[in-house]
Structure 1
Amino acid sequence: MAAAASAESSPPAPGSLVRTADDKKPKGHRWYLGGIASSMGTLCTHPLDLLKVHLQTQKGQGLTMLGMARNVREHHGLSKLYQGLSASVMRQLTYSTVRFGVYDSGKAYLTDNGTKPLPVYQKLFLSFWGGLAGGLVGNPSDIVNVRMQNDLKLPPNLRYNYRHAFHGYYRLATVEGFAGFGRGLNMNLSRAVMMTTGQLAVYDQAKTMLIGSGLFADNILTHFAASTMAGAAATLLTMPVDVVKTRIMKAVEGEECSAVNMLRQTYQQEGVLAFFKGMTPAFVRLAPQTILTFLFLEQLRLVFPVR
């Protein structure tokens, strides 16, 4: 009896998977950190996002990213490289908060708060549903973001002239009605799924493989390497969808802008390479955005661990 009592009261061996009573209590996952980290990254990379939108919507001009940057500077001033920043931040606070929240909360549930590994197919499953939910919630902010950025290229009579994100929501609702919030939704959902797969699932898997190799530790170098791989994967997966989505969202009222029509029109008028227009600036924008997002996220997780 005494021996049994002693065995029951003795602490678990170091490194064992025996869980204490406190460990077995449900833990609240800080699902919102992904949106905050993404917003922090956007504050640093917004000008690159604006140039990407301008390149994707140009027709026949053939400007490079640097040429587009010079064009914006000469005609509008350097400050306009931050045109639409409020909508870009709101997009991350909606879209990225939800997709990271679904992925991280689902991962915590499926792995019993990290006590067992997550298979690749489950990472893909979570990224699919996270991207779908994030794309749905973030669609209005994405529309306003694209329109505010693209206004610089339009003649004054065709501009939307949204003063900030909330003014854009108001105008979108009053001018186009509830249906206006769903403009380009199909393409945006497709892009969100591809983006979330390329970023979250690839980052998660790359980080796991790097650390599992024994050559890397769970530190900033590993986070940088994994997020660079995630940025490259996300760029490749999302480019065709992103081009079509951007063109649909910037279309003026009355213009035919269904996904099928835009796909056909873009292919017939500009060829298949048009679907990869702006790929270099897209990578130049998305890679830093992805790297900064995950670097910020890993640091935020240290400051605000799960409880």
Structure 2
Amino acid sequence: MSEQKKALPFPVTFAAGAIAGISEILTFYPLDVVKTRMQLETGKSKGLLGSFQSIIKEEGFGRLYRGLVPPLLLEAPKRATKFAANDFWGKTFRNLTGEEKMTRNLSILTGCSAGATESFVVVPFELVKIKLQDKSSTFAGPLDVLRYIVKKDGLLGLYAGMEATFWRHVWWNGGYFGSIHQVKALLPKPDSPSAELMNNFVSGGVGGFVGTALNTPFDVVKSRIQGGARVPGVVPKYNWTYPALVTIMREEGPAALYKGFVPKVLRLAPGGGVLLLVVEFTLDVFRKALGPPYI
């Protein structure tokens, strides 16, 4: 019976992930724009406040929402894929290992696998978003970017930065879901629905911080790869993830691998808490609506 309570239909998991993702992005999107700007800078960073002020002063407040459409369209399939894949890989690995409950190591392995799965959905949307968020961007909108990329590089051009995106999501999801499992085990057992929501928010926030700390260097590389212009016959300066990490560290110092960390963590730490809180709340609503044997 306990297994049946957890076995919600896939459309329910999909809907919960989508609702949570859209809630998170609408709340924290300007921080993502600032993060990308900081990561694309090859010189001295202006910092969080300096970047905010520069964008608003030089380009207007609306620029903080530049490129919102692609991630907004992405969030539903992205978050839905994340949680559905996490559920699928969690069950698969438990069956393979014979574990009845999720362990810390299985949580990390599950999260990494879910991140790898998610990355294949994410790349084209991320590429369009980066092209729009770049300060030098002259594109009229998402469709303009799509037309340009497909005309110049073909359909496969939409997957520029695939390898870097793969690693970014593997590391973030491994840290996020692995931390959630560990933090929940350390927190007092909730004795009320409100206490359970608070535990979800805290564990999700910690997970968001750990995931961000692990994946920021890979996010910097992804932004550089996707933001750069490709010239026929010329090997891009930033092409493959791990060599690009070495190049950035050698030319700009180790700290450059964490450009954009502050706005990124300010978004994804509380964002991770909001994400998990909304997912759990939404799933609980669905369980009650569906009735036995889901409650």
For residue 292 of structure 1, give the secondary structure of its aligned residue in structure 2.
helix
Q: Secondary structure at the match of 1:60?
A: coil
Aligned-pair CA distance for 1:299:
1.5
User: Higher helix fraction: Structure 1 or Structure 2?
Assistant: 2
Please say if residues 95 and 137 of structure 1, whose CA atoms lie closer than 8 Å, have aligned partners that are also in contact.
yes
When structure 1 is superposed on structure 2, of 183-192 and 27-36 the one drifting more is 27-36
Distance 1:142 1:24, change over 3 A: closer
What secondary structure sits across from 1:304 in the alignment?
Answer: helix
- 1:84-95 correspondence runs (5 A): 84-95=67-78
1:172 partner letter: I
Q: Distance in 2 between matches of 1:64 and 1:23?
A: 50
> Paired residue for 1:248?
225
Match of 2:184 in 1: 207
Amino acid at match of 1:269: E
SS in 2 for 1:102: helix
In the TM superposition, what are the counterparts of 1:16-31 in structure 2 within 5 Å?
A: 19=1, 23=4, 27-29=8-10, 30-31=12-13
Alignment equivalent of 1:68, drawn from 51, 55, 59: 51
Instruction: Give the match for residue 258 of structure 1.
Output: 239
- Are residues 1:273 and 2:250 paired? no
TM-score (norm 1): 0.81
TM-score, structure 2 as length reference: 0.84
Which among 84, 109, 118 is matched to residue 134 of structure 1?
118
Question: Between Structure 1 and Structure 2, how many residues are aligned?
Answer: 279
Residue identity (%):
22
Stretches of structure 1 lacking an aligned partner (at least 5 in a row) = 1-18
Structure 1 residue 97 and structure 2 residue 80: aligned? yes
Structure 2: distance between partners of 1:142 and 1:274 = 21
Q: Please report how far the alpha carbon of residue 160 of structure 1 lies from its aligned counterpart in structure 2 after TM superposition.
A: 5.0
How do 1:181-260 and structure 2 match up within 5 A? Answer: 181-212=158-189, 219-254=196-231, 255-259=236-240
Structure 2: which 5+ runs fail to align? none
Check whether the contact 1:110–1:118 (CA below 8 A) recurs between aligned residues. Answer: no
**How many Å separate the matches in 2 of 1:59 and 1:28?**
47
Deviations 1:150-205 (A, max 9, x none): 1xx21xxxx350513x5533433233212212211111100101111122232233
Kindly provide the amino acid, as one letter, of the partner of residue 249 in structure 2. Y
Q: Is the 8 A contact 1:223 1:295 kept in 2?
A: yes
Q: Take 2:110 and 2:219, find their aligned partners in 1: how far apart are those partners?
A: 21
- For residues 119-158 of structure 1, the aligned pairs below 5 Å read 119-150=103-134, 153-154=135-136
Superposed displacement of residue 96, structure 1: 2.5
Q: CA RMSD in A?
A: 2.9
Partner of 1:36: 19
